[in-house]
Amino acid sequence: MKIAPSILSADFADLATGVAAVEAAGADRLHIDVMDGHFVPNLTFGPDTVRALRPRTSLPLEVHLMADDPDRWIAGFADAGTDILLVHQEATAHLYGTLQTIAAHHVQAGVVLNPGTPLNTLDEVLPLVDQVLIMTVNPGFGGQHFLPAMTAKVAALAKTRTARGLNFAIEVDGGINDQTIGDVTAAGADIAVAGSYIFGGDPAQRLAKLEGRA
């Protein structure tokens, strides 16, 4: 299992220190939760945060874009140094085109599903994506409880991937800790985002635990 620490739970006044800690501890990538105050009731980072972090780490930068009308942000995040851009299915009426636009900017494209959005809404776009992110909480805030019903959704997506001969990565986000990581791993997730668990203690120890090294 690859772990993507979410800087939403890091110290906003000292992001570079949090990033250095998880990079030294062996994180796979950095997860950057962008919230626009409309799609979700919270405000966080923008492209300038990505631009500022880019020279401070060699980890891939994954942007989880919780914003309405994601097309307006694609060029800005691509130009800032984003490696993987994840857009919500629920945030655009033009998902197919949005994913094409991300790829045209030479950024890996991913799609995110809220807990209440069915998998079959992705039937047509799965061949276009590098990654599918299954929300295991309702988006907007860190530190929420994992929704156990999402485990079956991850398993169903893994089954679809095999049946269709596709090779996108499956990621989970929300409520991931040492108690919940086992179920999502068994269900077929490849990457797990973790914020409050990683930054709520010693990041190196907690990362090792999630990766099954401790």
Ligand X SMILES: O=C(CO)[C@@H](O)[C@H](O)COP(=O)(O)O
Q: Is 33 a catalytic residue?
A: yes
Residues in 99-118 at the binding interface with Fe ion, rule: CB under 5 A:
none
The answer for 188, left when phi > 0, alpha when psi is -120 to 50, beta otherwise, is left
Q: What Rg value do the Cα atoms of the chain yield, rounded? A: 16
Task: For residue 64, state whether it binds Fe ion (rule: CB under 5 A).
Answer: yes
Nearest to 135 by CA among 192, 61, 82: 192
Cα separation, 214 vs 210, whole angstroms: 8
With 0-12 CB in 10 A as exposed, 13-18 as middle and 19+ as buried, what is 167? exposed
Which of these segments, 73-81, 120-128, 140-148, 181-189, binds ligand X (CB under 6 A)? Answer: 140-148
Which of these segments, 1-9, 11-19, 88-96, 179-187, binds ligand X (CB under 6 A)? Answer: 1-9
Residue from 28, 36, 130, 173 carrying the catalytic annotation: 173
Residue among 102, 109, 187, 194 that touches ligand X (CB under 6 A):
194
Cα separation, 80 vs 122, whole angstroms: 28
Residue among 109, 111, 176, 187 that touches ligand X (CB under 6 A):
176
Catalytic residues, by residue number, are: 33, 173
Give the binding site for ligand X (CB under 6 A): 6, 8-9, 31, 33, 64, 137, 139-144, 173-176, 193-197
Annotated binding residues for substrate, written as ranges, equal 6, 64, 140-143, 173-175, 195-196
